[in-house]
């Protein structure tokens, strides 16, 4: 089942990506939408073609081979299943917390699974790598009963871990609403950090910037103050956890302070949002799709039509008859 993934414009300016044909580039983008939360999907060229190019004559097998030569994907076989692994997928995308665990193993035959919050089923903590014969035990594990020493159940330990993470981050993590539990296709709105000088698939010795654990306290405050000034908010407008959470999430996705400020400016140029009072920073930073749209607005020049000057009448064209103009 295809899912929404987002790729920033710098993707198309990558020095290795541009060496691929247009067909290969479009195929690579399509693979992101077909891959699971670990960036894996079955290597079934005919099925991939029907999903991505139903009306085009494209040799998917050949293009997959071309993409793999540049190190963007890895092709391997485990237990008789041909698998495609998008390299560094988990570094560039943060799938929705409700998205199910991958059903495909990595190149070592290990499966990536997660603990889940018992209340909203979102993932908690770091992933576990298990062999195939350990999966059933993991998913069917029984809860640990509370003994006389006050040992908590496994699920309670998970809940406590999540709560502690929220406290450490000053309650700024974006929580999942109850309505999201009913989402049929959980989508990722987290983008590849934009930098035209960064390789999509860095080498092993190339450091990858880690922003996932940064709090961006000063940056959040700067953006909030800029938003208040732009829309003339008074001192009673507070930086609550909802606003802080949205800004933090966008910063962790790789958006710069200036980009988010541009989004604020873009919102201020939208008559629809200004007149409807849809200008809260929480809305502007609601997700990457909204923020990108507002950034686009900031680059538009508002057209203000000129008031036409009154037409001047040339009286020389008329004759005066008995002091009347005809």
Inform me whether the pLDDT recorded for 51 exceeds 90: yes
42-56, 208-222, 308-322, range with greatest mean pLDDT: 42-56
Inform me whether the pLDDT recorded for 232 exceeds 90: yes
For the chain, the first-to-last Cα distance in angstroms comes to: 78
Tokens of residue 173, six digits: 């993590």
Inform me whether the pLDDT recorded for 29 exceeds 80: yes
Tell me the pLDDT of the chain averaged across its residues: 78
Write the CA distances from 153 to 118, 124, 129, 167, 281, integer angstroms: 12, 15, 22, 21, 39
Reported pTM: 0.47
Inform me whether the pLDDT recorded for 173 exceeds 80: no
CB 267 within 8 A of CB 227: no
The Cα–Cα gap between 294 and 18 comes to 28
Chain centroid to CA 165: 21
Q: Is the domain defined by 1-92 classed in CATH 1.10.10? A: yes
**314-318, long-range: CB within 8 Å, 24+ apart, which pairs?**
none
Mean pLDDT of 54-58: 93
Write the CA distances from 223 to 18, 31, 103, 288, integer angstroms: 34, 35, 40, 16
- Residue 175, pLDDT score: 38
- Residue 28, pLDDT score: 95
CB 273 within 8 A of CB 267: yes
> Per-domain residue ranges for the chain?
1-92, 97-182, 217-298
Residue ranges of E strands in the chain: 40-42, 73-78, 81-86, 111-116, 123-130, 320-321, 324-325
């Amino acid at each position: 089942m295809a899912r929404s993934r987002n790729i920033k414009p710098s993707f198309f300016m990558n020095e290795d990506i541009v060496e691929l044909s247009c067909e290969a580039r479009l195929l690579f983008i399509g693979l992101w939408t077909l891959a699971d939360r670990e960036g894996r999907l079955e290597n079934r060229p005919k099925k991939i073609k029907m999903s991505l190019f139903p009306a085009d004559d494209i040799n998917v097998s050949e293009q997959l081979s071309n993409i793999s030569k540049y190190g963007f994907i890895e092709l391997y076989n485990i237990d008789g299943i041909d698998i495609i692994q998008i390299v560094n997928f988990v570094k560039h995308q943060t799938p929705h917390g409700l998205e199910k665990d991958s059903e495909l193993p990595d190149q070592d035959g290990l499966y990536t699974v997660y603990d889940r919050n018992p209340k909203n089923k979102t993932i908690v903590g770091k992933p576990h790598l298990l062999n195939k014969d350990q999966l059933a035990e993991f998913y069917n594990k029984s809860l640990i009963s509370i003994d006389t020493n006050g040992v908590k159940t496994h699920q309670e330990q998970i809940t406590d871990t999540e709560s502690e993470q929220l406290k450490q981050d000053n309650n700024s993590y974006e929580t999942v609403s109850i309505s999201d539990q009913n989402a049929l296709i959980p989508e990722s709105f987290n983008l590849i950090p934009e930098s035209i000088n960064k390789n999509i698939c860095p080498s092993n010795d190339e450091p990858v910037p880690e922003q996932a654990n940064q709090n961006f306290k000063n940056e959040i405050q700067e953006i909030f103050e800029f938003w208040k000034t732009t829309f003339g908010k008074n001192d009673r407008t507070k930086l609550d956890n909802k606003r802080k959470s949205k800004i933090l999430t966008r910063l962790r996705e790789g958006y710069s302070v200036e980009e988010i400020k541009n989004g604020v400016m873009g919102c201020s140029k939208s008559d629809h949002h200004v007149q409807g009072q849809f200008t809260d920073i929480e809305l502007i930073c609601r997700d990457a799709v909204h923020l990108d749209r507002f950034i686009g607005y900031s680059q538009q020049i508002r057209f203000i039509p000129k008031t036409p000057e009154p037409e001047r009448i040339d009286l020389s064209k008329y004759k005066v008859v008995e002091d009347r103009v005809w």
